[in-house]
Structure formats: C-alpha cells, structure tokens
C-alpha cells in the first residue's frame, strides 16, 4: 500500500484580504465565476464586486470580510483541484486560522459553499455586534515570550487571543485594558501592532455572540468530514460533527492555537503546507515555527498554473 502524501491544506483568516482578490480567477475560470455567483446569491448582495473593487473600508468590515476571504479561498481550492489533478496531492489534514477554519470545513466536505458563506456572514455580524456591546480590540505583540505576554495580560486585564508563532502573540481586551497593555509593553521594549478589527475577538468579550450563533450552527447542515480538521482551540483533530460544532462555538471566545496546530501536524509527519487563499500570512508563520517545513501558495492563476507545470 502506498503511503499517503504528507500534505496539509491551510486557509487564511481575517487580515489576509485585499481589494482585487480573486478577480484574476473570476476572469480566467468559469468555475470561479460560478463560485462567486453562488456566494452573491446566498447573501443577496454582490460580494464578488466588493472583493474585486472594494472600497477597502467596506471590504474590511467584519461581516463583509469574513465571507469575502472564505469565498476567495474556496475558489482557489476548487480551481486548483479541478485543473491541477494529480499535481495537487490530497491532504492528510486541513486547518484554518480562525475564520479559515470554515474554509477547512468546506475542503473536508463538512459544509457546502452556500452554508459556509452564510454561516460566516452571520459570524461576522454577531462578532461586530458583540464588539459594539463590549468595545475592545486586538494588538499583536512582537518579540515577547509567552510567559512575558501572560504577565502583561495579568497586569492589564487582557487575554491572549492568538499564539501564532514564536515571537508573535496577539492579545484582546477592552479599550482601557489595551491602553494599559500598550503602556506596559512599551516599558518592556515589546513591539506592537494594532489589528484592524471591530472587537476583542477570541476573548470573553465575544460572549454576546455565542447564543444566537449557537442557534444558527444548530440549524445548519453538517456532514461527516472526509479529512481530519485540526481545531484552533485544542490543536487536535476533529473527526465528528458534534466536535466540530462545539469547536466553532468555543473558537469565538478562546485562544487560537496556531503554533501548536502546525507543530501537531509536523509531528504527524506533514512536511508541506499548501496555503490556499489570499495572502501569504500563514506561510510566513510556518517558516518561523519550523524553517524545515515547506510551504506553497495557491492564490492566483499564476500559482495554479505553476502547480500544473510541476
């Protein structure tokens, strides 16, 4: 028996967007046009035009950007699968960073494209509303150890929201808590970057979103996964519907364990990660987690053509 390819598909989250994403795919492949039009029909407004033309401030709004990144990533995936054939190995795991976990569910046949795009539209809306009820934000801390960030959170009242890679940890908190964290970080010489988000994602300040989102998840059709999904919260495989639904709710208010997720897949002998969707954020994080791991990007017609040439 041939040993399965040690490949994982990974999908980007919020922050990877840019105006114009997916437009070359739309003009080059009829399948891409079908996928973007399916999203437009599902949501009842031209999401595709927002992806291609912006404006940027509308695209980056939480309830818009989440379905926009998802549908662009799905288009990249489906076209690569259709056109590259044997040049795109099947994955032994799929995973996504926060929002990207929903694209991973599409890749593992858990959600249909229509259900996924509707689900993340609701997710974005509810996260935005939670941010209005409990105002806050997120800051990326660069160069600090996990222990130093834990101490900073203890003193400021913030929460660790994402552990992305060595030297990059994101915290969430209320406005006053983040201001205190900012000042503490400066005294310790820690570099910081505010994130363009509308709330304190992956913290307890997102709890107002959980109740309604739980009902929406309960009323959405899920199918058994055809590949294990590595959970953001536990960094362990999800292989049944109940566990997947629980993960989607837990993910709203708990830390995204991206570094641990990549380390788990590497321990399971994954050697190559295909980042599928806009941007190259996850590939950069993986190089910092383990420089020996290989990454490939699938986000443009040129990169898809390169797959076929290999």
Q: How many domains, in total, are found in the chain? A: 2
Q: Which two tokens stand for residue 143?
A: 């160069």
- 97 a catalytic residue: no
Residue 218 and residue 305 in one domain: yes
Q: Report the chain's C-alpha Rg in angstroms.
A: 19
The pair of three-digit structure tokens given for residue 195, joined into one six-digit string = 């994130």
Residue 101 CA to residue 196 CA, distance in Å, equals 20
Residue 58 structure tokens:
């509308």
124 shares its domain with 140? no
Q: What is the pLDDT along the chain (310 residues), one digit of tens a residue?
A: 445 559 999 999 999 999 999 999 999 999 999 999 999 999 999 999 999 999 999 999 999 999 999 999 999 999 999 988 777 899 999 999 999 999 999 999 999 999 999 999 999 999 999 999 999 999 999 999 999 999 999 999 999 999 999 999 999 999 999 999 999 999 999 999 999 999 999 999 999 999 999 999 999 999 999 999 999 999 999 989 999 999 999 999 999 999 999 999 999 999 999 999 999 999 999 999 999 999 999 999 999 888 876 6
Is 171 found in the same domain as 68? no
CATH of the domain at 181: 3.30.70.250
80 within 8 A of 297, measured Cβ to Cβ: no
Neighbours of 236 (CB within 10 A): 16
Q: Assess whether 188 and 247 both reside in one domain.
A: no
Task: Point out the catalytic residue in the list 202, 261, 283, 299.
Answer: 202
Both 62 and 184 in a single domain? Answer: no
91, 8 contact by CB (below 8 A):
yes
What is the helix (H) or strand (E) element at residue 9, kind and residue range?
A: strand 7-11
Statement to judge: residues 170 and 217 lie in one domain = no
For residue 187, the enclosing domain spans 136-194
Question: Do 73 and 221 share a structural domain?
Answer: yes
- Asked if residue 1 is part of any domain, the answer here is no
C-alpha distance from residue 111 to each of 37, 74, 102, 126, 250 (Å):
17, 12, 8, 20, 18
Phi first, then psi: what are they for 112, rounded to 5°?
Answer: -75, 160
Q: Can you list the alpha helix ranges (DSSP code H) found in the chain?
A: 23-28, 30-43, 47-53, 56-59, 62-84, 100-107, 113-133, 146-156, 175-187, 207-218, 241-253, 258-267, 281-289, 301-309
End position of a domain, from candidates 194, 215, 237: 194
Calpha distance 102→67 (Å, rounded): 10
Active-site residue among 98, 172, 203, 261?
Answer: 98
Residue 44 sits in the same domain as residue 142: no
Q: Is the full-model pTM beyond 0.75?
A: yes
Beta carbons of 20 and 56 less than 8 angstroms apart: no
- Order of strands across the sheet with 136-142? 159-165, 168-174, 136-142, 191-194
For residue 2, being part of any structural domain is answered with no
Query: Is 16 annotated in the active site?
Result: no
């Amino acid at each position: 028996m041939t040993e399965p390819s040690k490949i994982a598909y990974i999908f980007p989250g919020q922050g990877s967007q840019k105006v114009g994403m997916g437009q070359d795919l739309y003009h080059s492949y009829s399948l891409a046009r079908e996928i973007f039009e399916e999203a437009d029909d599902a949501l009842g407004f031209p999401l595709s035009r927002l992806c291609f033309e912006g404006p940027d401030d509308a695209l980056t709004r939480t309830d818009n950007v989440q379905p926009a990144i998802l549908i662009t990533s799905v288009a990249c995936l489906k076209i690569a699968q259709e056109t590259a054939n044997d040049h795109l190995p099947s994955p032994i795991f799929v995973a996504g960073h926060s929002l990207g976990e929903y694209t991973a569910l599409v890749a593992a046949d858990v959600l249909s494209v229509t259900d996924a795009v509707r689900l993340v539209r609701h997710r974005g809306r509810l996260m935005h509303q939670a941010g209005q009820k409990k105002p806050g934000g997120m800051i990326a801390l660069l160069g600090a150890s996990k222990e130093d960030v834990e101490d900073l959170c203890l003193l400021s009242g913030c929460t660790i929201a994402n552990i992305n890679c060595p030297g990059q940890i994101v915290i969430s908190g209320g406005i006053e808590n983040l201001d205190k964290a900012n000042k503490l970080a400066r005294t310790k010489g820690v570099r910081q970057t505010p994130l363009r988000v509308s709330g304190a994602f992956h913290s307890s300040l997102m709890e107002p979103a959980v109740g309604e989102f739980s009902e929406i998840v309960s009323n959405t059709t899920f199918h058994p996964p055809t590949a294990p999904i590595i959970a953001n919260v536990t960094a362990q495989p999800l292989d049944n519907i109940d566990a997947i639904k629980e993960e989607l709710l837990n993910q709203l208010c708990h830390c995204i364990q991206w570094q641990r997720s990549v380390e788990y897949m590497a321990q399971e002998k994954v050697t190559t990660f295909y980042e599928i969707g806009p941007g190259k954020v996850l590939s950069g994080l993986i190089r910092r987690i383990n420089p020996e791991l290989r990454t490939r990007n699938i986000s443009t017609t040129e990169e898809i053509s390169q797959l076929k040439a290999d």
